[in-house]
Amino acid sequence: MNIALWLHRCGLSHPQMPAVAVGTRAVLTYGDLAERAARLAGALRTQLELQAGDRVAIVAKNTPAYVELLHGVWHAGCVAVPANAKLHGAELGYILEQSGARVCFASPGLDTDIAPHAPDTLAHLITIGSLAYEKLMTADAIDVVPRSGGDLAWLFYTSGTTGRPKGAMLTHRNLNWASHAYAAEVDPVSPGDAILHAAPMSHGSGLYIMPHVARLGVQVIPESGGFEPAEIIALFNAWPRISMFAAPTMIKRLLTQSADCNVENIRTLIWGGAPMYVEDALAALDRFGPRLAQIYGQGESPMTITTLSKQDIAVRDHPRWRARLGSAGKPYACVEVSVADRDDRPVAQGEPGEILVRGEVVMAGYWRNAEATAASLRSGWLHTGDIGLFDEEGYLHLKDRSKDLIISGGSNIYPREVEEVLLKHAGVREVSVIGRPDRDWGEIVVAYVVGDASPAELDALCLAHIARFKRPKDYVFVDALPKNNYGKILKTELRERDAARRR
């Protein structure tokens, strides 16, 4: 089925319910939103002459228009291509070209960045909120174009921590299952519940739109269009029953806010997208109470590989509580998760290996990239590139991306384990551990540290908590770590910088 049907039905049944808000102000009801999506779909098919399956790019900061654009595109039977608004014009040009998008909707300002890089295949570049944009909303509405579960809905461009971004092909079935899995296992949604979009809607946060539309929730967009900690706390205070997806760095920044926060209003704070160190999870639990949940997913299996539930995070008196807190939880009911060796054979429980995923949420492949698809989906499993292990209770512990693993003197060292220890030092704000090529050891462990601490103090911490051979042989103190536009630390770039420093 076409997931645009969810909005269509809500528009019929509850036209007066608020659907989208900016800050504390509702700006669209379900009736208005459904009508705009249906008219936009009409315009896409008749005025812009798109066919079912054509790609429509969205390059926008978080904005109410995101919700109507996604639904209008799906309503028309087309495929949405949300792109990260923070990318350079040339990078956006690449995504437009690779996806073969015929139409691109862009926020004011981003349209001019894109224009010089627009490929020939792009027939229309339309500025969101312009007269031309609003005119599309006056076209005749059309019926929702029928789609089957296997039809494409969203080309989800990877954040590209290495190389060029690839478009994970997400189908209507994928998004349908991901939305149901979320509502069943992470955060049940009731009518009127709010979802705060502080993370990019082109990426992680965008996936939370659908389960909230299906259940008559309210999409709340911050006035600032992004993540301003003080504003987020104010919105927590303003909206009863509010949830938010946040990268661990965002949760950490919220913890530094001293403003009063009515935590009773918070339904669920979901973290994911990168490791949350146990010390930070504990601090968040102290501040926000039993309202935290974790998801582990990737664009190729959106939101949905494993989840650590609110209950698991909250039960401090459980003997395995702390061990579970350091995990990414258990597989969702709708997926199979395997930890395998290089030949895709499952390894023994407790042994690390690559995390493989199979199920209804796994992407159909990479758009126009048969080679990467074959490599990623070989033997019927999605190869995540993440290393992890199952503990005796069936909780998955993530180690690192396979390419970040350090092999020193023949021993495997997982950077995250060392990072967890270094972060125990009160003066360490951020840390990233990498391997540096070494003639004697193969690689040696090197820690890049942001903060105030001495190598001797950090050494002492390591000696107290982990095996000697895992201790960094060099500490490099820096002002900041290289990160991509989604705030993920770029270890590949850090390794390159490390090599350059030593030349």
- Note the maximum CA span of the chain: 71
Taking the complex as a whole, the smallest distance from the CB of residue 144 to ligand AMP amounts, in Å, to 29
- Of the candidates 213, 6, 204, 202, the one whose C-alpha atom is nearest the C-alpha of residue 105 is 202
Instruction: Reduce the DSSP state of residue 185 to 3 states and report it.
Output: helix
Taking the complex as a whole, the smallest distance from the CB of residue 58 to ligand AMP amounts, in Å, to 17
Kindly list the strands in the beta sheet with 266-271, ordered across the sheet, starting from the edge strand earlier in the chain. 25-29, 18-22, 218-221, 194-196, 242-246, 266-271, 292-298, 301-308, 330-331
Angle ∠(55,60,63) on CA atoms, nearest 5: 115
Residue number with CB closer to ligand AMP (141 or 274): 274
Residue number with CB closer to ligand AMP (257 or 485): 485
Question: Alpha-carbon torsion 184, 158, 50, 125, what sign?
Answer: positive
Residue number with CB closer to ligand AMP (219 or 384): 384
Residue number with CB closer to ligand AMP (400 or 498): 400
CB neighbour burial string for 365-402, b if at least 16 within 10 angstroms, e if fewer? bbbebeebbeebbeeebbbbbbbbbbeeeebbbbbbbb
Residue number with CB closer to ligand AMP (48 or 406): 406
Two structure tokens written together for 238:
């303003």
Taking the complex as a whole, the smallest distance from the CB of residue 274 to ligand AMP amounts, in Å, to 5
Residue number with CB closer to ligand AMP (42 or 275): 275
Taking the complex as a whole, the smallest distance from the CB of residue 203 to ligand AMP amounts, in Å, to 7
Taking the complex as a whole, the smallest distance from the CB of residue 165 to ligand AMP amounts, in Å, to 9
Taking the complex as a whole, the smallest distance from the CB of residue 410 to ligand AMP amounts, in Å, to 25
- The span from the CA of 494 to the CA of 160, in Å, is 15
Question: Alpha-carbon torsion 500, 248, 311, 325, what sign?
Answer: positive
Nearest residue relative to ligand AMP (C-beta): 298
Residue number with CB closer to ligand AMP (32 or 386): 386
Query: Residue 368 — φ and ψ, nearest 5°?
Result: 50, 45
With helix as H, strand as E and coil as C, how does 263-330 read?
HHHEEEEEECCCCCCHHHHHHHHHHHCCCEEEEEEECCEEEEEEEECHHHHHCCCCCCHHHHHCCCCE
Q: Which residues bind ligand AMP (CB under 6 A)?
A: 158-159, 272-275, 294, 296-299, 328, 384, 386, 398, 401
Taking the complex as a whole, the smallest distance from the CB of residue 416 to ligand AMP amounts, in Å, to 8
Residue number with CB closer to ligand AMP (178 or 234): 178
Question: Alpha-carbon torsion 34, 39, 40, 42, what sign?
Answer: positive
Taking the complex as a whole, the smallest distance from the CB of residue 132 to ligand AMP amounts, in Å, to 32
